[in-house]
Amino acid sequence: MAKGKKSSSSGPTKSHGPKKKMWHCWDSTTRLHLAQAGLLTKYHNFESWQQAVQAKGKRNATKAEFDEFDKLSDEDKNAYFENLKK
């Protein structure tokens, strides 16, 4: 048997913060069909958009801002996320 430091396992450890439970207002089969249709992406879903915007550094994203974003064309939506990086 090898000598050395004994490791005590206290279970799995997380390397980052709490996970956000998204889209739990629907059952799993509905979420699956919505995801396959592309409706749960950051371009069409408020929760996904809010998480994507917060990952770029913008805090306090509101529903009104998402409504304005939702009216943009596809090219403008891509430009919106590119401008958030700056």
Sequence spans of domains, the chain: 28-85
pTM of the model as a whole: 0.68
What 3 state SS string does 2-51 have? CCCCCCCCCCCCCCCCCCCCCCCCCCHHHHHHHHHCCCCCCCCCHHHHHH
Q: What is the pLDDT along the chain (86 residues), one digit of tens a residue?
A: 566 666 666 666 766 766 777 778 889 899 899 889 988 889 999 989 998 998 888 888 899 999 999 999 989 999 998 888 66
